[in-house]
Structure 1
């Protein structure tokens, strides 16, 4: 018998806070999934982000919806990547990662050099140029967030860079699968293309999931290996910025990176993905469960992309002006062409 003086269990406040926005993202994802079944070529991710952008522009989500939308756009997406790990073994993941290194490192180097040259030509100077370069070359908003405090970037530059990167993420989700079909790319070739040429993890997964399951698994491994490149880049910037500031006569304390902070740059969902691949390598996950878990992951991707669409700040693109957008667009084209060119050169296309 329950003690009458014992209060009934209560729902945590954070759960209540995320339910409205998360519920809206799930509802959009459900509609997007139906659209994807009617038109399999577009999948569920693309309709999800498009519906999210349109609905977000109409209703302009307020404080009641924002916590759940933020939860869906970040944690739900990361969880979907972890679940995708069951589709691979550790041996397969290592093989894909090693095979992708020449193309991945080549596109990263070309992007960073291009950001410096094109940025100077366009008059996009300083931290904004650096942020757009690392965002395009490594992992979108995550790389920008990791780099900004190290170089001391002001908030307006961060906002401009994130807005620019996001615009071309959406463009990649819509355009890259069409390019893949026009070029007759295989699933693995498109996975390498998406993993090296699309900026943010969410957009990589969205573009590849539209192309096929094999492309998705391949792209996720390539993208997660590419994400690790944020560590040497940030460490390099951390050692360069104090010298830059000193030569410029800036009065600021050097920005140091501790070992603990370097380890924190490794995203938890990358670790989770590897753990799931390791579990799958043991054979304890029955084959019958793979299809169900993959379907769950794809729905979570649609949910996350719907939330990202809802949170899109269209006015942010107008505030950024044309120069950062031009830099982001030109780098987007350069990275895409270099990815295709390097694949062809190494016999992977």
Structure 2
């Protein structure tokens, strides 16, 4: 080893610090926004704050290495910790019919949204990210899929904005529809969990029908989250088949962070994670996703979003209608007298 190579690691770490410090400040600001406006999730607040910082000219070149690290490495660590929320026994307790309903809703929503996006003339990556967010778990799923596709940050921000907008509308629309449908509490919980985009939005929607609806909705929603791993792995397989040698070889069949996600699910299911760890792990996961999305937002040119804005909103509306109607149809079939 020559003397010139010795300080390289330290230099690399130092280059990350400015961007990571700014990302941490963005996390603190986004958390503050969420505390003042609970309807605004920290993830969405982080995207907006990052985009504002960049578009107001406050993103010097020194920040870029740390922001890039946050948008990729911290994101993937957040996906791994997301697995700690899930226990297979909770999914199985729903019963096979409800599990099949969730799988069918995710499959139809994902494929239908991707197809609609392409028919509307939207890009492949934006269609894929939107389909993932609407069918699985909102902003976290969008960010996780981008860990495989490595798409443009503008596409990530657009997809996150869509799940935030239309998921928020569901908080109002589904309880109003429940007034006409008069589903039993558990049925409304299944409908909310299977169709509303973000976990926080599911909680806000289902709690209007009581604790039984809320408990069912959360488990159904987490069952959708379980499907994030096979979905990302499937996209990874397709990318592996189409990757050219000029891209540095083929991507792994199952990305390492997806394997980590599945490992955390296994640990939770086997009872190897102490109950006292679950809340700190959930907090850490949220902070990591918030930092990653702030960094992604900081790479966005807001003017570029206007090129696809109207068509993207149409896609969001169609996808929300699709997931809501497919899930509701399944609930009506499963509900006696429904």
Instruction: Using structure 2 for the length normalisation, give the TM-score.
Output: 0.69
Aligned to 1:64: 62
Aligned to 1:295: 283
2:244–2:250 contact (8 Å) kept in structure 1: no
Alpha-carbon deviations, 1:139-180, whole Å to 9, x = none? 7688689779xxxxxxxxx75xx6355324223224413423
Q: Return the offset for 1:102.
A: 0.6
Q: Return the offset for 1:218.
A: 4.5
2:54–2:298 contact (8 Å) kept in structure 1: yes
2:116–2:315 contact (8 Å) kept in structure 1: yes
Distance 1:168 1:281, change over 3 A: closer
Distance 1:255 1:49, change over 3 A: closer
Q: Counterpart of 1:17 in 2: which secondary structure?
A: helix
Aligned to 2:103: 101
Q: Return the offset for 1:59.
A: 3.1
Distance 1:90 1:14, change over 3 A: farther
Distance 1:268 1:54, change over 3 A: same
CA distance in 2: counterparts of 1:20 and 1:13, whole angstroms: 12
Q: Return the offset for 1:231.
A: 5.0
The yes-or-no answer on 1:173 pairing with 2:164 is yes
Alpha-carbon deviations, 1:106-147, whole Å to 9, x = none? 12332344345x34xxxx4xxx65454444334768868977
Distance 1:277 1:99, change over 3 A: farther
Distance 1:143 1:51, change over 3 A: closer
Aligned to 2:87: 89
From 13, 16, 25, give the equivalent of 1:15. 13
CA distance in 1: counterparts of 2:276 and 2:111, whole angstroms: 42
The yes-or-no answer on 1:317 pairing with 2:305 is yes
Q: Counterpart of 2:82 in 1: which secondary structure?
A: helix
Aligned to 1:192: 194
Aligned pair count reads 288
From 40, 53, 56, give the equivalent of 1:55. 53
Q: Counterpart of 1:59 in 2: which secondary structure?
A: coil
From 74, 77, 81, give the equivalent of 2:72. 74
Q: Return the offset for 1:104.
A: 1.6
Aligned to 2:210: none
The yes-or-no answer on 1:285 pairing with 2:269 is no
Moved more, 167-176 or 222-231: 222-231
Distance 1:28 1:192, change over 3 A: same
Instruction: Using structure 1 for the length normalisation, give the TM-score.
Output: 0.67
Q: Counterpart of 1:12 in 2: which secondary structure?
A: helix
CA distance in 2: counterparts of 1:187 and 1:312, whole angstroms: 36
CA distance in 1: counterparts of 2:258 and 2:148, whole angstroms: 16
Unaligned 5+ segments in structure 2 are 1-5, 134-141, 179-187, 204-214
Distance 1:191 1:69, change over 3 A: farther
Aligned to 1:305: 293
Aligned to 2:42: 44
Distance 1:209 1:297, change over 3 A: farther
CA distance in 2: counterparts of 1:87 and 1:141, whole angstroms: 17
Q: Counterpart of 1:28 in 2: which secondary structure?
A: helix
1:164–1:328 contact (8 Å) kept in structure 2: no
Distance 1:87 1:316, change over 3 A: same
CA distance in 2: counterparts of 1:67 and 1:188, whole angstroms: 43
Q: Counterpart of 2:74 in 1: which secondary structure?
A: helix
2:101–2:330 contact (8 Å) kept in structure 1: no
The RMSD of aligned alpha carbons is: 3.8
CA distance in 2: counterparts of 1:221 and 1:210, whole angstroms: 18
CA distance in 2: counterparts of 1:15 and 1:34, whole angstroms: 28
